[in-house]
Amino acid sequence: MINWVGSEAADFKSFDEYGLSNDFAKAGGGNDIVYGGAGSDQLFGGDGEDKLYGGIGVDVIHGDAGHDKIYGGAGADQLFGGEGADDFYIHSTDTGDYFFGQADQINDFNSDDTIWLQGNFSYGGSGNAPNPGEYTVSAQDGGWLLTYKNLGEASNVFHDVHVMGDNPLEHISFF
């Protein structure tokens, strides 16, 4: 395990050079950029407009205060935006099926936040079985289940993000 604490200035830290490790990073003030790398990482942004990248593994990422950009990466990640309007980026295959314990979870979503899905999807209504190229939002276990299906995937493959907090339906964009 690698432990790192940043300064009050804008910091850059990448754990990629350490290979597979379970890293701990606490960035200080400033607009920080932190790459967790492979492993189950714990990343904390601190104050500022931070960019936090979890990488491969089951990560826990806290944006903390500021307008943060949070990228969970592959694995069933736990994501916290904290204070401020935050952006959560979900790549096309970063997250898996909620019902198999493979989904990312956003734990404190509010109406100032945005979920960014990689690709271009149309809204397929409520439910949890969208057609290819669609996403759906439905109530699930005290929160919301955002489900999407990439074009060309097998009929039984779905990608989910479990969202705790405000309904994300009006706060989904694409990159």
**Cβ atoms of residues 65 and 90 within 8 Å:** no
Look at residue 106 in the predicted model and tell me its pLDDT.
98
**Cβ atoms of residues 44 and 60 within 8 Å:** no
Cα-based torsion angle of the residue sequence 69, 159, 61, 142 in order, rounded to the nearest 10 degrees: 110
pLDDT band, residue 18 (cuts 50/70/90):
confident
DSSP bridge partners of 140: 143
Integer Cα distance of 40 and 78 in angstroms: 11
Look at residue 82 in the predicted model and tell me its pLDDT.
97
Integer Cα distance of 97 and 155 in angstroms: 13
Look at residue 52 in the predicted model and tell me its pLDDT.
98
Look at residue 70 in the predicted model and tell me its pLDDT.
98
CA 168 vs CA 14, 92, 108, 148, 153: distances in Å: 31, 18, 11, 13, 24
pLDDT of 17 higher than 90: no
pLDDT digits (tens, 9 = 90+) for 100-158: 999 999 999 999 999 999 999 999 999 889 999 999 999 999 999 999 999 999 999 99
Pairing relationship of beta strands 159-165 and 42-44 according to DSSP bridges:
unpaired
Look at residue 2 in the predicted model and tell me its pLDDT.
82
CA-wise closest residue to 21 among 35, 5, 6: 35
**Cβ atoms of residues 97 and 160 within 8 Å:** yes
Task: Name the pTM for this structure.
Answer: 0.95
Q: 18-32, 34-48, 94-108: which has the minimum mean pLDDT?
A: 18-32
45: helix, coil or strand?
coil
Percent of the chain at pLDDT exceeding 70: 100
**Cβ atoms of residues 76 and 101 within 8 Å:** yes
Higher pLDDT, 54 or 17: 54
Rg over alpha carbons for the chain, rounded to the nearest Å, is: 16
**Residue 11 phi/psi, 5° resolution?**
-115, 155
